[in-house]
């Protein structure tokens, strides 16, 4: 059972702490208790800590620059418990209308993992810090769009 834990504003982690990462394929409109309703991104993250591991659900509300972090409430001690919590987290998000994709964290190249740690909202210590990264991504997209239009003119 996952419940909101207001103490969490983000899940900053090192590459070695991340056990699993699931990313959203869509951004449904959700209403989170105590938060402004709106389009959200969802992430399921498995993190290793000093006393075992934990599975977290992170909902990012970009328009409100806010988030909600759901925790399972138990420290996972073995692989079966981890898979069970991960499956429960994905089922919870599917019930909210999210379609999730397993990012296959362990199979990713180190550079790609580092890029995700720097750009995904879930890994920021506070959701209000995310717009700076969003602005840079938008700028890169604009450059790519401009270049595409330029090349299409030939």
Structure tokens at 44: 């399921």
Give the start-to-end residue ranges of the domains of the chain. 3-152
Tell me the mean pLDDT per 10 residues along the chain, length 154.
90 94 95 89 92 91 90 82 94 95 95 94 90 51 64 68
What is the pLDDT at residue 131?
Answer: 58
Which parts of the chain are beta strand (E)?
3-4, 18-24, 29-30, 38-39, 41-49, 52-61, 66-71, 100-102
The residues, any chain, with a CB within 8 Å of residue 131's CB and separated by 6 or more, are 65
pTM over 0.85: no
* C-alpha closest to that of 35 among 13, 12, 58: 58
What is the pLDDT at residue 136?
Answer: 46
* C-alpha closest to that of 23 among 103, 82, 93: 103
What is the pLDDT at residue 62?
Answer: 86
Cα–Cα distance measured from residue 46 to residue 27, given in angstroms and rounded to the nearest whole number:
21
């Amino acid at each position: 059972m996952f419940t909101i834990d207001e103490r969490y504003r983000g899940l900053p982690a090192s590459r070695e702490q991340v056990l699993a990462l699931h990313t959203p394929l869509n951004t449904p409109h959700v209403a989170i208790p105590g938060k402004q309703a709106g389009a959200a991104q969802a992430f399921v993250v498995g993190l290793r800590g000093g006393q075992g591991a934990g599975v977290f659900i992170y909902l990012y509300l970009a328009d409100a620059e806010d988030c909600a972090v759901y925790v399972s409430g138990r420290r996972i001690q073995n692989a079966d418990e981890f898979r069970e919590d991960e499956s429960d987290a994905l089922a919870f998000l599917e019930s909210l209308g999210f379609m999730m994709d397993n990012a296959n964290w362990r199979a990713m190249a180190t550079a790609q993992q580092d890029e995700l740690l720097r750009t995904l909202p879930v890994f920021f210590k506070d959701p209000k810090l995310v717009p700076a990264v969003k602005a840079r991504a938008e700028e890169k997209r604009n450059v790519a769009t401009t270049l595409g239009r330029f090349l299409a003119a030939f």
